[in-house]
């Protein structure tokens, strides 16, 4: 069979999990496209489902083929999402987002009770990192964000060039969410070899707040340096991290890694769900103190980047009424701002699509 035949076969297998009345997340990419086509055949035969598209391309395909659509605003909870992948490792860790819809894909997947990833054998790799890792970021503070991502990657042993993705005509590539993509050509092999624990590379820096990294990646945790910060600098850095509320960025890492490991074993041992859940609960309690290692890692970066006096000045500021207000209110302001940006982007995208369709119709083409 050809590669396209394998993709269609994978899509057909996923279709077997779709039941009448389901609310479905419809993924983006060449394999997910086959799923939408096959789903449309079932809809024409009488299957009652609703879909939420992860991209304009998927939305256009679904509308053209007659698959009923809704939105996450109208249907915030989904039963199942079917999507593809760009790379899949032997432990089922994967990279997604090469096509530029990673934020939308992740939001839809997070709203779903279950997710099925479909892919043909060409997506299987011995080690993740065959192509640069896509990281979706907001345009504001791009240089600072790129630097923060580079520092975080280097800290876990995966340095590499990070470049802004551009289109063929040299313009910055814009994602489905209206953001930019930094392609990180990380040296993942050194970070992955000999690993003993999982770490989700999620929210590498606060600058990636409105977007996300397109993968779950196993990394060993360890930071080597020829010039370690002084104990007093480390103490100041740790205090600053706590004061700023930065620890919330990695609070979910340890339990998330345990859930990921459970999910890997559950794939091949579905009858052991209760036993695996019991072990996961035990490990969450046992490994909870390990989260402090992440704080130590970040504190080292702060202590190496800023002088002790600068850390003291920052601490003094965040203890003022204005500093405390920023810590308390900034997450709410950013969340509301990102929601408004997303709503505006969705409306503008629909306007542009309709306008383009109308202009093409004037030229005699029906899209």
| pLDDT tens, residue by residue, 169-226 | 888 888 888 889 998 887 654 444 433 223 333 333 333 433 444 433 322 222 233 3
Burial degree of 50 (CB within 10 A; 0-12, 13-18, 19+): middle
- Strand 78-83 relative to strand 50-53: parallel, antiparallel, unpaired? unpaired
Query: pTM for the full model?
Result: 0.54
pLDDT of amino acid 221: 26
Instruction: Kindly tell me the burial class for residue 160, based on how many C-beta atoms sit within 10 Å of its own C-beta (0-12, 13-18, 19 or more).
Output: middle
Q: pLDDT-derived band of residue 62, with 50, 70 and 90 as boundaries?
A: very high
> Residue 76: helix, strand or coil by DSSP?
coil
Q: Is 105 a catalytic residue?
A: yes
Burial of 361 (0-12, 13-18, 19+ CB in 10 A): exposed
Where is pLDDT greater, at 344 or 29? 29
pLDDT attached to residue 14: 92
- Evaluate whether 136 touches 184 at the Cβ level (below 8 Å): no
Which of the residues 77, 87, 105, 329 is marked catalytic?
Answer: 105
DSSP 154-220: HHTT----EEE-B-TTSPBP--TTS-EEEEE---HHHHHTT--S-------SGGGTTS-BSB-----
Most confidently modeled range among 65-74, 221-230, 257-266, 338-347: 65-74
What are the boundaries of each domain within the chain?
3-123, 127-222, 229-319
CATH of 3-123, one of 3.40.50.150, 3.40.50.1360, 3.40.718.10, 3.40.50.2300: 3.40.50.1360
Class of domain 127-222: alpha beta
When pLDDT is averaged across residues 329-338 and rounded to a whole number, the result is 74
CB 103 within 8 A of CB 125: no
Q: pLDDT tens for residues 237-280?
A: 999 988 888 777 677 778 877 876 777 677 677 888 888 889 98
Confidence (pLDDT) at 326 = 87
Task: Report the pLDDT averaged over residues 318-342.
Answer: 81
To the nearest whole percent, how much of the chain has pLDDT over 90? 29
What pLDDT is stored for residue 322 in this prediction? 93
Give the pLDDT band (50/70/90) at residue 157: low
Average pLDDT, stretch 298-316? 89
């Amino acid at each position: 069979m050809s590669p396209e035949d394998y993709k269609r076969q994978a899509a057909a297998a996923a279709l077997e999990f779709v039941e009448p009345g389901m609310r479905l997340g419809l993924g983006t990419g060449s394999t997910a496209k086959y799923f939408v086509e096959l789903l449309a055949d079932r809809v024409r035969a009488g299957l009652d489902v609703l879909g939420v598209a992860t991209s304009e391309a998927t939305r256009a395909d679904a509308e053209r083929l007659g698959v009923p659509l809704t939105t996450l605003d109208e249907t915030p909870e989904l039963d199942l999402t079917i999507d593809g992948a760009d790379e899949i490792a032997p432990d089922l860790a994967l990279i997604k987002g090469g096509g530029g819809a990673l934020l939308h894909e992740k939001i839809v997947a997070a709203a779903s009770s279950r997710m099925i990833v479909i892919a043909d054998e060409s997506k299987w790799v011995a080690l993740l990192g065959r192509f640069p890792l896509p990281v979706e970021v907001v345009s504001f503070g791009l240089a600072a964000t790129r630097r923060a991502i580079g520092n975080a990657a280097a800290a876990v042993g995966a340095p590499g060039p990070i470049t802004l993705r551009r289109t063929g005509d040299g313009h910055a590539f814009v994602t489905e969410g209206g953001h930019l993509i930094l392609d990180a050509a990380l040296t993942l092999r050194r970070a992955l070899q000999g690993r003993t624990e999982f770490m989700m590379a999620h929210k590498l820096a606060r600058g990636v707040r409105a977007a996300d990294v397109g993968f779950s990646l196993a990394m060993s945790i360890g930071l080597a340096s020829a010039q370690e910060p002084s104990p007093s600098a480390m103490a100041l850095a740790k205090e600053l991290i706590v004061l700023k509320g930065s620890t919330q960025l990695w609070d979910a890492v340890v339990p998330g890694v345990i859930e990921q490991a459970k999910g890997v074993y559950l794939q091949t041992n579905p009858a052991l769900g209760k036993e695996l859940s019991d072990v996961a609960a035990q490990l969450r309690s046992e490994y909870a103190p390990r989260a402090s290692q992440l704080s130590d890692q970040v504190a080292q970066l702060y202590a190496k980047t800023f002088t002790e006096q600068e850390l003291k000045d920052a601490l003094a500021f965040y203890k003022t009424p204005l500093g405390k207000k920023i810590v308390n209110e900034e997450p709410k302001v950013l969340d509301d701002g990102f929601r408004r940006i997303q709503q505006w982007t969705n409306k503008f995208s629909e306007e542009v699509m309709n306008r383009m369709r109308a202009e093409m119709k004037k030229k005699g083409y029906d899209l």
